[in-house]
Amino acid sequence: MSQHENARAGLFSIPVLVAALGYFVDIYDLLLFGIIRKTSLTSLGLSEREVLTSGEFIISIQMIGLLLGGILWGVMGDKKGRLSVLFGSIILYSLANIANGMVHTVNQYALLRFIAGVGLAGELGAGITLVSELLPKEKRGLGTSMVAGFGLTGAVVAYFISKQFDWRICYYIGGGMGLLLLLLRISVFESNMFNQVKEMNVSRGNFFMFFTDKERFFKYMKCILIGLPTWYVIGVMVSFSDQFGKNMAISEPIDPGRAIMFAYVGISLGDIAIGFVSQALKSRRKALFIFYIMTMICMALFFMQNGSSALTMYLICACLGFSTGFWAIFVTMAAEQFGTNLRATAATTVPNMVRGALPLMILLFKFLREKSGFITGGIITAVIIMIITLIAAYFTRETFGKDLMYVE
């Protein structure tokens, strides 16, 4: 790293702050549809049944966009540079969100959520990669935790804005924030590591390299599997907390939007906390296992509810959020596991593969709940996911303090 970069790349340097703001806008836009799904689809004239089926269709299309976008931006990040992704992705999802405020049919809505999904996929991976490469290795975990911790509050802001404004205005606000952020991005400089690798005669951003070498393939798969609990908790337990509440004999109706808001307050705090835990222990893996233990305790508390109150459910969702606040560390580990010529591809595709695994986790949950009931199905799915994750984490190499200036 050059002296110029070292002088500027502190924890509160412009690249870290801009990455944090970028992830804030990204999370706002990513979760906005889930928060305003019912009101937006109802206003398009859909029946209650159509709101459910069209909502599932649109969120699935958005996830497909995230999966494809993860590969696209990851490859571009290693071929063209981290900054090209940060500029390109934010332009795409900002314009898609503004257009989202103008839709009149379900198909228009789905198409624009797909385009927004493609754009949203690039933000976190490129930001984490850039911050990892610009910060001194001793501060890397703290920097990426700050990015995720602040960024995840975008979900909380989206919830409160949805209560104040019409759903179309909510999309305009998201798109407008993205375009404003674009002006801040101009002051961010490219990673010196990437500039050095650009001069080398090596394959950059080759997604298929993850599958051509056995050791590299297993390393890549482990990076994905260690993140599974985050989306099972958010995508199933918290998102369907209203259904779980009914089956747990909770008399008051549970608002899934409020449950998501509570969970994301927890996730945001957890992501900051794990950075300090990892720093204190000088280990990513030990910090991860501490949070896995907390996740399992909170899962047990969630499923043990019987006739409790809505407030208890929301507080447990907040605790679940805190315990699964290892999103930043898990993406940082993905960035640290691979050489500079594949780093952005890994850090961008890995979180989007985890998001893309949500439909598979929902299918498993559906199958198990039909066989054993709603609560038992949820418990068995949670146990299966945690076993897979713990095994993957056990065999994952420690990356704390690793020198990142190398190539695959």
Q: What digits encode the pLDDT tens for the residues 159-199?
A: 999 999 999 999 999 999 999 988 887 777 777 888 888 88
| 4 pLDDT above the threshold of 50 | no
Phi, psi angles (nearest 5°) of residue 110? -65, -45
Would you list the DSSP string of 38-99? HHHHHHTT--HHHHHHHHHHHHHHHHHHHHHHHHHHHHHHHHT-HHHHHHHHHHHHHHHHHH
- Give pLDDT, residue 2: 42
- How many Cα atoms sit within 13 Å of 123 on the Cβ side? 32
Closest CA to 128 of 313, 338, 279: 338
Give pLDDT, residue 239: 85
The band of 321, judged by pLDDT with boundaries at 50, 70 and 90, is very high
Residue 136 main-chain phi, psi, to 5 deg: -60, 145
| pLDDT for 145 beyond 70 | yes
Q: Which of 345, 325, 327 is nearest to 335 (CA)?
A: 345
- pLDDT on residue 136: 86
Report residue 369 as tokens: 């709940």
pLDDT category, 257, cuts 50, 70, 90? confident
Question: Can you read off the two tokens belonging to residue 387?
Answer: 């076993």
Average pLDDT over the chain, rounded to an integer: 91
**What is the rounded average pLDDT of the residues 280-294?**
96
Q: How far apart are CA 294 and CA 323, in angstroms?
A: 5
* pLDDT per position as a tens digit, 389-403: 999 999 999 999 888
Residue 384 · residue 165 · CB < 8 Å:
no
For residues 152 and 298, which has the higher predicted lDDT (pLDDT)?
A: 298
pTM of the model: 0.88
Residue type, 12: F
What is the helix (H) or strand (E) element at residue 243, kind and residue range?
Answer: helix 241-247
| Tokens at 319, concatenated | 């605790």
Ranges of each domain in the chain: 1-182, 228-325+357-398
Q: List, for residues 218-229, the tens digit of each pLDDT value.
A: 999 999 999 999
Residue 351 near residue 148 (C-beta atoms within 8 A): no
Closest CA to 175 of 99, 82, 114: 99
Give the architecture-level CATH label for domain 1-182. Up-down Bundle (1.20)
The predicted pLDDT at position 8 comes to 45
Q: What per-residue confidence (pLDDT) applies to 139?
A: 84
**Distance in angstroms (rounded) separating the CA atoms of residues 255 and 241:** 8
| pLDDT surpasses 80 at 296 | yes
Match 């300090």 to its residue by tokens.
276
Q: What is the predicted pLDDT for the residue at 228? A: 96
- 7 pLDDT band (50/70/90 cuts)? very low
What's the average model confidence in pLDDT over 15-44? Answer: 90
